[in-house]
Amino acid sequence: MSPAADYRTITDLDHVRIFNLLRRQGTAGQLPAQAEALAELIDAADQVPPQQIAGDIVTMYSRLRVSDADGGHERSLTLCYPADADVAQGRISVLSPLGTALLGLRVGERVRWRGADGKPGELRLLAIEFQPEASGDYTA
C-alpha cells in the first residue's frame, strides 16, 4: 500500500512548505523515489487551512504515540523537516519513507511503508500527543 493511495488531509501551509522543500530537492522528474512519493501524497491530499485541521491528524511537528503492528512496542515520534531529523531522538524526517507514510494519518489508522533498506514496516497511530495547530500554533 503506497502512502499516495491513502486518503489524507494536510494543512495548506504544510503543503506549501513541503512543495518548496521538494522543489529544492530537484526538478520534476528528477526527484529521488522517496521525494516523488511525498510529492504524490501532498498533491493527492485534501488541503485545509491550519485552523481547520482536525486534532487527530498528523501535521508537521506533531508528536505521535505509535505501536508496532502487533501492538507490542510503543514509542513517541515527531514528524519534522530533514534539518531537524534525529532518529535517535524520535524525530522523523518527512522525506523518509516512514515520515511520508505518517503525514496526514489519522489516529487509529495503520500505516505501511518500505524502508530505504527495502524491509517493510507497519505501525498503528495510537494518539497525537501534541499537534501545533491544536495548541493554537498555525505557523509551525
Minimum mean pLDDT range among 5-14, 24-33, 70-79, 113-122? 24-33
Residue 11 has pLDDT above 50, yes or no: yes
Which amino acid, 97? P
**Averaged confidence pLDDT in the chain:** 89
> What pLDDT digit, counting tens, does each position of 89-104 carry?
999 999 999 999 999 9
- Backbone dihedral region for residue 136 (phi beyond 0: left; psi -120 to 50: alpha; all else: beta): left
Domain range list for the chain:
3-133
Q: For the residues of 9-54, what is the DSSP string, one character each?
A: EEEHHHHHHHHHHHHHH--TT-S-HHHHHHHHHHHHSEEE-GGGS-
Give the fold, CATH level 3, of 3-133.
Chitinase A; domain 3 (3.10.50)
User: What's the gap between Cα 128 and its chain centre?
Assistant: 12
> What pLDDT digit, counting tens, does each position of 31-52 carry?
677 888 899 999 999 999 999 9
Cα–Cα distance between 82 and 93 in angstroms, integer? 5
